[in-house]
Copies of this chain bind each other. A is one copy, B any other.
Amino acid sequence: MDKYIRPTLAEFVGTALYVFVVCLFPPRVEASTILPAGVLQGCVYACLILGPGKISGGYFNPVITASVTLCGGVTVRVALCYFFAQILGGLTGAALSLAILPSDMYSLYLGGSTTLVNGTEPGWGLLAEGILTFILVLTVLMVTIDENKQQLSPLVTGLSIVVGVMAGASLTGGSMNPARSLGPAVCYSLHQDGSYVWNYHYIYWVGPAAGAMVATLVFRFLFASGSREQYRPSV
């Protein structure tokens, strides 16, 4: 049980709380809400890494989990459990926010879903999500998987969430996390006939996945401190 059930529950709880908080105060297009949203998401991420994340590793994000798995941080079986927990967590968190928020606020926030803003082209949005996820995943791998781990790692991971959310806010909404994008999109399109949140939804899967894969390659073949054997994936 300690190997699968507790960590999987921890990922579920963590992702649900993360997405719930994100949906209560999503970044908007106006400059004045970009910083608050970034700080809020970074803070809650850091807290959750030290809360439930102590049991599971604290990923709350399918693409971080995938990268860590490819570097041998968790086994493939555990990663599969985490994946479903994260998707389900994202849906639960978004549903909670739909329940709690007054209806007009929920509509104004588009339920916390991520869409292309300010006339960003899909291709550039894809690239933005990719590069920002690259920064996030490279940071996570260097501070948690690398031989010389960092005590500051939960704070630093929080800081890279701040970076991604703020830098991406006026282009793609700054997701870097398919679970965080899927949940709110599902809930919002159920609540209102808001089909346009699904336009370009693939950006929030393809961009982060590509960025994370490049970060994994860069980590394993260029920046990792230890020998290459250390970071092999295991089943």
Query: Among the listed B39, B102, B154, which residue makes an inter-chain contact with A39, where contact means beta carbons less than 8 Å apart?
Result: B39
Question: B223, A39: Cβ atoms under 8 Å?
Answer: no
Closest to A17 in B: B135
Question: A139, B47: Cβ atoms under 8 Å?
Answer: yes
Residue A71 CB within 8 A of the other chain: no
Docked complex Cα distance between A199 and B142 (Å): 40
- Segment of A72-80, A163-171, A178-186 engaged in the interface with chain B: A163-171
| Interface of A toward B, CB cutoff 8 Å | 6, 9-10, 13, 17, 20-21, 24-25, 31-36, 38-40, 42-44, 46-48, 50-52, 54-55, 96, 99-102, 105, 118-121, 124, 127-128, 131, 134-135, 138-139, 142-143, 146, 148, 150-152, 154-156, 158-160, 162-163, 166-168, 170-171, 218, 222-223, 225
Query: Among the listed B40, B121, B152, which residue makes an inter-chain contact with A167, where contact means beta carbons less than 8 Å apart?
Result: B40
In the assembled complex, the CB of A106 is this many whole angstroms from the nearest CB of chain B, namely 11
Interface centre among A40, A47, A162, A218 (most CB of B within 10 A): A47
Closest to A9 in B: B222
Question: A51, B142: Cβ atoms under 8 Å?
Answer: yes
**CB-based closest 7 A-B pairs:** A35-B36, A43-B159, A47-B160, A100-B124, A24-B167, A44-B163, A51-B139
Question: B99, A124: Cβ atoms under 8 Å?
Answer: yes
Question: B167, A21: Cβ atoms under 8 Å?
Answer: yes
Closest to A120 in B: B102
Docked complex Cα distance between A139 and B6 (Å): 17
Question: B24, A152: Cβ atoms under 8 Å?
Answer: no
Quick one: given A36-B35, A47-B139, are A127 and B156 in contact (CB under 8 Å)?
A: no
Q: What 16 additional pairs, Cβ within 8 angstroms, besides A38-B40, A44-B167?
A: A9-B222, A10-B223, A21-B167, A25-B167, A31-B32, A36-B38, A44-B135, A46-B159, A47-B159, A48-B139, A52-B142, A54-B148, A55-B223, A100-B124, A102-B118, A105-B170
